[in-house]
């Protein structure tokens, strides 16, 4: 897709520090890491949203991301890792070519997800929300 920076990286038109590549995905170092070792797993074909990614491609992204997370833990002496995907601008997606973040984590790395949690007023409200979702669910 024209003008997409990740398509340009995949095409070799822009540089990256490649970590892994196969026929479906390219993984490279994030230019502005949350922690050193932060890697992006990028599908070679352009998808703006994760929703259009096939089961095979999504499975590969998840598989490669998990393996890279384990490699980061072992190589960088970290305790854990996050796999993160932002789908849509208000979810935090900045580059509109879907990608999976692999973020090595340490217990004292000082990074905190802003994981604010709400409560349903009652079971019925939760049930109404669940029914609305199920009406639209197509797998
Ligand atoms: P998003 O917010 O869209 O989920 O994440 C985009 C990520 O891409 C950010 O973590 C950002 O640092 C990274 N990024 C943006 N431009 C480039 C680039 O040109 N090269 C690399 N290696 N990473 C990039
Ligand atoms: Zn693209």
Domain containing residue 50: CATH number:
3.30.428.10
CA distance 131 to 91: 23
1 has pLDDT over 90: no
CB–CB of 107/113 below 8 Å? no
Q: What does residue 23 show for φ and ψ, rounded to 5 degrees? A: -70, -15
Q: Give 66-75 pLDDT, tens digit per residue.
A: 999 999 999 9
Range of the domain at 92: 5-114
- Token representation of residue 98: 């879907």
Question: In this predicted structure, what is the pLDDT of residue 82?
Answer: 97
14 has pLDDT over 90: yes
Residue 101: enclosing H or E segment and its boundaries? strand 100-105
Q: What is the DSSP string of 48-99?
A: SSGGGS-HHHHHHHHHHHHHHHHHHHHHHT-SEEEEE---SGGGT--SSS--
Residue 40 lies in a domain: yes
Ligand nearest to the CA of 8: 2
What is the domain count for the chain? 1
Residue 86 lies in a domain: yes
Task: Please name which of 35, 6, 32, 31 lies closest in space to residue 111, comparing C-alpha atoms.
Answer: 35
Q: Give 24-58 pLDDT, tens digit per residue.
A: 999 999 999 999 999 999 999 999 999 999 999 99
Residue 123 lies in a domain: no
How many A from CA of 123 to the centre of ligand 1?
40
How many A from CA of 65 to the centre of ligand 2?
19
Residues having CB closer than 6 A to ligand 1 are: 5, 16, 28-32, 40, 86, 92-95
Question: In this predicted structure, what is the pLDDT of residue 115?
Answer: 85
Local structure of 40: helix, strand or coil: strand
Residue 119 lies in a domain: no
Q: What is the DSSP letter of 18?
A: E
Q: Give 82-131 pLDDT, tens digit per residue.
A: 999 999 999 999 999 999 999 999 999 999 988 899 999 999 999 999 99
């Amino acid at each position: 897709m024209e003008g997409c920076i990740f398509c340009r990286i995949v095409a070799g038109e822009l540089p990256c520090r490649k970590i892994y590549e196969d026929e479906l995905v390219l993984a490279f170092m994030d230019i502005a890491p949350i922690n050193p070792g932060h890697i992006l797993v990028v599908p070679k074909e352009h998808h703006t949203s994760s929703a259009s990614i096939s089961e095979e491609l999504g499975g590969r992204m998840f598989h490669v991301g998990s393996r890279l997370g384990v490699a980061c833990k072992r190589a960088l002496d970290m305790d854990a890792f996050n796999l993160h995907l932002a789908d849509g601008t208000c979810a935090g997606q900045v580059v509109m070519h879907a990608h999976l973040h692999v973020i090595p984590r340490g217990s004292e790395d000082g990074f905190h997800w802003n994981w604010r949690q709400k409560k349903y007023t009652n079971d019925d409200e939760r049930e109404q929300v669940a029914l609305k979702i199920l009406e639209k669910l197509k797998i």
